[in-house]
Structure 1
Amino acid sequence: MDVVVAETNADSTEPSVKEPYVSLVFESVDEAYWFYNSYALNVGFGIKKGSTSKSFSSGDVIARRFECNKSGLKTSKVGEGSSTRAHRLTRVNCKAKLDIRKNKDDKWVVTGFIKEHNHELDTPRKAKRHRSHNILHKDKEVKKLMDQLYSAGMGPAKIARILNETNCNSSISANQVSVHLSEHRKNNIENEGASVFAYLKKQQELDPNFYFDIELDSNLVLRSFFWADSRSRNDFLTFGDVVVFDVTYKTNKFMMPFAPFTGVNHHRQSILFGCALLADETEETFHWLFHQWLKCMFDTAPKVIITDMDGAMYNAIKRVFPQTRHRFCSWHIGKHLVEHVLEIRDSNGDFKKDYYEWFNSKDVNTSEQRWKVFIQKYSIQNNSWLLKMWDRREHWVPAYLKDYFVVGMTSSGRSESINAFFDGFVNSKTQLLEFITQYEKALHSRHQAEEREDFNTMNSVANLFTSYALERFAAEFYTKNMFKHFQQEFKQSLECWYEEINTIGTITTFRVGLSCEDSINWSTVIYDDDNTKVICECAKFETDGFLCKHILHIMIAKKHLQSIPNLYLLKRWSISARNKSNTEISVVSSDIVTPMMKWKLTNTQTNIFNLAITSKEAYDLVMSTLTGLLENVRDSFNYSEPASIASQVGSTTIYPSSVGISIRDPLLVKTKGRPKIASRIESGIEISQSQGKRRTCGTCGGKGHYSTTCPQKDKVISKTVYKFFSFG
C-alpha cells in the first residue's frame, strides 16, 4: 500500500522545498541531485544514484536516475546453509525516483518523477541519518574546524562529539575524523564550588525541569552535589522500574566518588537517571543522596534497585526506599564468596557440584532443604559471613528473586559501563566543572545511541527464522535489539518437547524442555485456556519481561497461537515505549551561544584581521566599522562590563551578592581503602576479562603451586574462580 507524502512535518526544521515535476530544468547533474536530495530530506527519505545511459557516439552520460535508497530488493540467504551473519533488510523495492536527461542545450530536464513510496517516511530530523543527508563532515568549514581541533591535540572521538554537540542535527562519527585523542583543559583554579553552583544554576535557567541540590557543611564547605536534567527525569518515568546504583571512584581533583543512577531503555541500552559526586560513603551521605533523588523523580521510588553489599548503602536504602526490592550485585557476591569459601572448596572435591545444586534450586522450599544439607556437610555453621549472607538470601539467591522484574540484570555492570566512558577523559587533576561537562557528553552519547537504534528499528525489517505468524508478530512489536533476545528463545522453543501432566477444568499442566536434556531438568508450565494466562517455573517473563522457550513451545506446538497475548507484551520493549510528550522536551535554550557559533565568530574575526593588515586604507576601514559596530551592540543589548563571577579570599569562594552565600571548595575525600593513585575501581566484567586463564593454581593462575599455598591468595581472584561463582 502506497504511503501518502505529507505536505509538512511537525518537527521539521528545514525550509519548504518545491516538489519536482516533469520538464523541470537544471543546469547540471549536481544541481539536480542536490535539488532532489533537499526534497527528500524535507519529505523524509534518503536517495541514491541509480542507473545511467550513455551516448553511443560520444560515450558521455546523457541520462541519469536518482531513486529512493529503499529501492530494489536484497535476497535473504538465511536458512539456505549460508554462514553469513544475518543483517536486517533496508530495501523494500520502493519505486520513488527522479529521471533526468540532457537536452540539446546541455541542460538537464526531468523526464520522469514518481512521488509515492511503499514504506513509511521519516521526519526530517530522523531523515538526516540517511547517508545522502549525513554529509556535514564533507563541508569545507567543518573540515577546517577538524584541522584546528587536531592541531590542538584532540582525537577522533572527541572531535566527533564536539561537532555533534554544536549541531544537534548532525551525526559525525569518529571514523570520519582521523586524529589522535587529546584535550586542552579549561582553567578554573581555586573556584570549584562557586563554578559548580553557577553552572548548575545556569542549566536550571535553560531547562526549567533541570534538578540539582548541593550539600554544604556548617562551614559552607561543599560536600556533595546531585543533578539530573529533564530528559533523565522523563526517562525514569518510562524506564525507571529497575535502577542500578553503584559508587565507582573517578579521578577528580578532590577524589570524590562518582555515583550514577542507571537504567535500561527499550533497546536494552544503558540510560542515566542522574548522578552525584559525594563527600564520603557514610549512611547519612547515602541517605541525603537517595532523598534528593526521590524528590527529583517526583517522589516515585523504583520497584527494584541493584547495588553492591555496602552496609551503609543497604541501611540508607531501607530508610528511603522501604517498598523497593533490593538486589545485591551478583559479581560482588561472587567476589566475596570466593574469599570466604576458597579453603573449603579446595579441600572438598564435591563442593562445586553441591554448591551449584543448591544455588540453582528452582523454588524456595528446595533451596532451604538443600541449604540445611549443605551447611552440615561442609560445617558452614562456623562461617559467620556465609550465615550472614544466608540471612539476606532474598537479596541474592535466585530462588527468592523469581517474583519481580529486573530487566534481565543481575549485576551493577550497567553503571560500571557508564563509568568506563570517562576513561581517558579525566585524571587526578580534573576539576569538578569539567567532570560535569564530561558527564553531559556521556549523557548526550546515550541519547544519540538511542536515536540510532530507533532509526535502525524503524528503517529495517527483521530476518525471520521461520514462517510462524507468532515470530512475525514479535518482530513487528519489539525493537531490533529486543527482538534478537526474543528470537533466541523462539529458536530454542522449536527444539523443545513437552508432555502433558494433567488437566483440571481449563487449566493444563505441562513439562517442557529441550529434547537433548534430561527431563528431570524440564520446567513446569501451567496454562489456563479460559483467560490465556500461563506461568513457567523458570520465571523468565517475570524477571526479563519476555516469554521463555517453554511457554513459546506450548503456544506454538499445542495452542497454535498466531500472536502473543497482550498480557505478555511489555510496552517498555517496543518502539512506542516512549511517550512523546515526555521525551520531546528541549534541554537547551535557543538563546544559547554554541561552541560552533563561537568558532565561526572567531574565524570571521581572523579573516577580518588578515584583510585589515594588508594596507593602511584597509586598516582604517576595518577599525571605523568595528568601532561603530561595537557601539551599536552595546546600545542594543544594554551591555556593561560584568562583575566578577567569583573572587578568592583565603580558601573561601566568595559568590556574587545575588547568590547570598559563599561556597568553599570541598575537602579531599578520604575513601574506604582507595589507593592514593588510581583511576577507579574496576568493574567485575573488567576484572574477569583482564585476568589470565587458570593453569595450575586456582587463585592466581600461576604454575608450581596450589591455591592453599598461593602467595597472592588474599589479593587475586582468577577469571576461572570468578566464573565458578558467577550468579547471573
Structure 2
Amino acid sequence: MYNEVRKQRSLQNGDVNAAVRYLEGVARVDNRMYWRYRLGKDNNMCDLFWSDGRSQLDYGIFGDVLAFDATYGRNKYNLPVVVFSGVNHHNQTCVFGAAMVSCETQESYIWVLEKFLECMEGKPPNAVITDGDPAMRIAIHEVFPNAHHRLCAWHLLRNATSNIYDPRFTHLFRQCMLADLEVDEFEAHWDAMLNECGVREVEWVQDLYRRKHAWATAYIRGRFFAGIRTTSRCESLHAKLGRFVESRYGILEFVTNFQRCVDFLRDNEDELDFRSSYGTPVLQTEFVELEKSGWTKYTREMFFRYRETLRRCVRVKICHCDVSDSGEVYILQKYRRPERTWEVRWERASNKFSCDCMRMESFGLPCVHIVAVLVRMDITSLPDTLVLRKWSKTAKLHYGIVGT
C-alpha cells in the first residue's frame, strides 16, 4: 500500500508544475499572491501553502482569531487540506490561506504555520481554535507561542462520548465547558461530576482537567474568540468547498476551484456590505435612539445581535450606584435573582464601560448590564468605546478594499 501511495504521489510533478504556473499567472494580476512548496524524497511535493492578496488584507483586519483543522478526500492524492479562516465584520467566515500537507506531522504543521506567518508579514493571531490534534498543538506552541489555544467544543464532546460511555457525563461535561460559570462554580460542578459519574481516576478525564484553560468558559472569559467555540466554521467551509472541488481533482484543479469557492464567499460578503449600507430597519425596542445608533455603527448581522441585547436589558435592574470624580460604579442584579450581581464601571475621562461578566472583552458587543447602565444614564448614542471595529460598518474602509 505504501509503495502504491508513493507511486501515486510521484505523478504529482507535472501536476505541481501546472499548479505553480497557475499561481505565477495569478501573481501577474495580484502582486500580493503568495505561495510556497517544498519537496521531499524523489523530488515529490510534500507541502504546499498559498494565500492571495485579499486574503492577506482580510487577515490584517480580522486575523485576531484564527481557526483551522484538516480535512481529507478533496483531491485525488488524498492529501490533507488545511484551510485557515476567521470571521469578518458580518460574522461570516473568511479565508486567510490554505495548505496541502503530505501528512499530519509536527514537521509539516510547523512548516505550514511558518509560511503562514511569513505571508502575513510576521503578524501572529491572538487566539487559535483547532480540533486538538497533538502535532498541531505542538506546532502552534512553537510558531505562535503567545496565542491562546482554544480546543473545539464539538470535538471535546465527541471525545467525551467515546472515552466515557456515560451520557450523563457528556451532559454534565457540556455544562462545565459552556455554562457561564465563575471559577469557583466551575470547580464545584467539576468535582460533583467526578463523584456522580465515578470518573475521578480516569486518566483521560484528568488530562482534560489539566487543559481546562483551553476549553472551560470560566477560565477563558475575557479572552476574545469572536464568539467561536468550535471548528464547525471550518467544517461548514469544507462542505461549501465540496460544491467546487471533487476528489478526482489533481492539485491544479484543486487550487483553481478552491479559489472559485473563496470568490463565492467574497460575493456573499459584498452582498452583506450592500445590505448593511442601505435601508432602515423597523425599530423594535422602546430605546429608539440607542437602537438607531446601533444601526448606524454595526453591520446588519451584528446590529441584530446588539438589538437582542437591547431588548433583554430590562431583565436586569440597577440596585446601587457609587459616584466619584473618576466615574461611576453600578451594581446590577437579575430579575428575581438577588444572589446574582454584576458590577459595571464607567470611567469619566475615557468614557469607557466595563462589566465583570466580560462579554465585551470576550465577544466585542456590550452586555445587557452595560446597556442597562446606558439607559439609566439617559445616553442616546452608543459610545464608540463600545463599538469594536471588527463588527462595524467601517471595518474595511481604512484599507480601501470595500467591494473589491
Same fold, TM-score > 0.5, yes or no? yes
Any stretches of 5+ residues in structure 1 without a counterpart? 1-187, 587-728
SS at match of 2:200: helix
Whether contact under 8 Å (1:308, 1:329) holds in the other structure is yes
Instruction: Specify the alignment match of 2:385 in structure 1.
Output: 567
1:267 partnered with 2:87: no
Any stretches of 5+ residues in structure 2 without a counterpart? 1-10
Instruction: Specify the alignment match of 1:393 in structure 2.
Output: 212
Change in 2 beyond 3 A, CA 1:334/1:446: same
TM superposition shift of 1:277: 1.1
Please identify the structure whose Cα radius of gyration is greater: 1
Change in 2 beyond 3 A, CA 1:358/1:221: closer
* Alignment partners' CA distance in 2, 1:439 and 1:225: 14
TM superposition shift of 1:207: 1.8
1:468 partnered with 2:291: no
Residue identity opposite 1:478 in structure 2? Y
TM superposition shift of 1:409: 1.1
User: Across the two proteins, how many residue pairs are aligned to each other?
Assistant: 390
* Alignment partners' CA distance in 2, 1:244 and 1:562: 37
Instruction: Specify the alignment match of 2:297 in structure 1.
Output: 477
TM superposition shift of 1:580: 5.3
* Alignment partners' CA distance in 1, 2:220 and 2:176: 17
Q: How does 1:455-534 map to 2 (within 5 A)?
A: 455-465=274-284, 466-493=286-313, 495-501=314-320, 503=322, 505=324, 506-513=327-334, 515=335, 518-520=337-339, 522-528=340-346, 530-531=348-349, 532-534=351-353
* Alignment partners' CA distance in 1, 2:180 and 2:291: 31
TM superposition shift of 1:518: 3.7
1:356 partnered with 2:175: yes
SS at match of 2:241: coil
- Output the TM-score relative to the length of structure 1: 0.51
* Alignment partners' CA distance in 2, 1:585 and 1:360: 39
Residue identity opposite 1:564 in structure 2? L
Deviations 1:479-536 (A, max 9, x none): 111111111111111x3131424637444241233x3x6444x451322353444333
Instruction: Specify the alignment match of 1:66 in structure 2.
Output: none
Q: How does 1:66-85 map to 2 (within 5 A)?
A: none
* Alignment partners' CA distance in 1, 2:287 and 2:318: 25
* Alignment partners' CA distance in 1, 2:273 and 2:180: 39
1:257 partnered with 2:80: yes
* Alignment partners' CA distance in 1, 2:403 and 2:42: 38
* Alignment partners' CA distance in 2, 1:421 and 1:585: 22
Residue identity opposite 1:474 in structure 2? G
Q: How does 1:132-151 map to 2 (within 5 A)?
A: none
Deviations 1:559-588 (A, max 9, x none): 1111222221111211111145452798xx
Whether contact under 8 Å (2:177, 2:216) holds in the other structure is no
SS at match of 1:197: helix
Match of 1:216 among 33, 36, 39: 39
Whether contact under 8 Å (1:331, 1:411) holds in the other structure is yes
Change in 2 beyond 3 A, CA 1:445/1:425: closer
Q: How does 1:220-619 map to 2 (within 5 A)?
A: 220-343=43-166, 345=168, 352=171, 356=175, 360=179, 362-465=181-284, 466-493=286-313, 495-501=314-320, 503=322, 505=324, 506-513=327-334, 515=335, 518-520=337-339, 522-528=340-346, 530-531=348-349, 532-556=351-375, 558-579=376-397, 581=399, 583=401
Moved more, 375-384 or 545-554: 375-384
TM superposition shift of 1:355: 6.9
Residue identity opposite 1:450 in structure 2? E
Change in 2 beyond 3 A, CA 1:433/1:355: closer
Change in 2 beyond 3 A, CA 1:582/1:387: farther
Higher helix fraction: Structure 1 or Structure 2?
2
RMSD: 2.5
The percentage of aligned residue pairs carrying the same residue is 26
Change in 2 beyond 3 A, CA 1:458/1:499: closer
* Alignment partners' CA distance in 2, 1:250 and 1:552: 48
* Alignment partners' CA distance in 1, 2:172 and 2:214: 23
Q: How does 1:124-163 map to 2 (within 5 A)?
A: none
